Structure 1
C-alpha cells in the first residue's frame, strides 16, 4: 500500500519549522520573568533588588504595585540619576499595577514618577547582557 502524496513531507516540514524556531529565536526560548522587588513588589527601597541577578535581553520584568500609589517610567541614565520621570522616546508611563516590560540589551533604567518616590529608592537600573 502506497503512502499519500504529503504523508512523509508534512512531518518533515513541521519538524523543520520547529527546529528553525529554536535556532532563530533563542531569546524567546531562554527568556526569564522576574518580579521586581520579589514579594514586596514595586515599592520603596527596591533600588538594590537587581544586585546578584543576571538579566538577559528579552527577559521580562513584572512590576506589581497599587496603581493609585505608584507608576513605572523607563528613563535615560541622566534622568534616572536626577530622578526625572521623563519617558524615553517611544516609551510611556506604565500605570496598570501589573506592568510587564521586556529588557533590551544594555542598562535599562526605571523609576516611579510620583514626586518623592524615586528619591525614596523606588528606582532600579537593570543591566541586560
Structure 2
C-alpha cells in the first residue's frame, strides 16, 4: 500500500512540474524578424529554468545565436564552436539560471534590433500567468502555447508513470 501511495505522489508531482513550464514565442505574434522590439517583448516576462524560447522565422532569412554579454554588445559571435540555429522553428530550453543573450547572426540583423537578453530564474513554484499584450483582451501566444503544448519527452514520462501506477494497482 505504501508503494502505491508513493507512486501516486510521484505522479502528482510530475504532472504539476510538467504544467508549470512556459513556452515563450519570441516576439509574440511577430516572431523572429526585423522590425520587432525584442527588448520591449522580453520586458516584464518571467523566464524560469525549464521554460522554452521558440524562435519562429522564415528559414534561410535569419538564424539564432546564443552569445555571451560582450559579443551581445558587439553584435557578433566570437565562439566558433557555437553553431547557429537555422530551422525556422528553433526551440531553446532554458536549462540554467542567469543572464542569457540571443542575436540573429545574419549580417546587419543584430545591429538592426534582432537581439535580446533575459534573466532566467530558478523554477520555484508555479510561474505567474503571462500578462496580455497592452490593448489586447486575448491571451498572449505564450499563454496559449503553454496551455496547449506538452513536450514529447514530458508526455512519454507521463505515460510511463501512468502505466507503472496501473501495474502496481492491478498487482
Instruction: Give TM-score scaled by structure 1 length.
Output: 0.78
Provide the rounded CA distance (Å) in 2 between the counterparts of 1:46 and 1:88. Answer: 27
Name which of 6, 12, 15 aligns with 2:5.
Answer: 12
Query: Which residue of 2 is the match for residue 62 of structure 1?
Result: 54
Map of 1:22-33 to 2, 5 A cutoff?
Answer: 26=17, 28-33=18-23
Matched pairs, number: 118
What are the residue-to-residue correspondences of 1:1-129 with 2, within 5 Å?
8=1, 11-19=4-12, 21=14, 26=17, 28-44=18-34, 45-48=36-39, 49-87=41-79, 91-103=82-94, 104-129=96-121
Moved more, 53-62 or 72-81: 53-62
Classify the secondary structure of the residue corresponding to 1:94: coil
Q: Matched residue of 2:24: which SS?
A: strand
List gaps (5 residues or longer) in structure 2: 122-171
Distance 1:106 1:46 in 2: 22
What is the CA distance between 1:11 and its match in structure 2?
3.2
Q: Which runs of 4+ in 1 moved over 4 A?
A: none
Unaligned runs of 5+ in 1: 1-7
Say if 1:67 and 1:96, in contact at 8 Å, map to a contact too.
yes
User: Is the alpha carbon distance of 1:31 and 1:86 closer, same or farther for their aligned partners in structure 2, counting shifts above 3 Å?
Assistant: farther
Greater per-residue helix proportion: 2
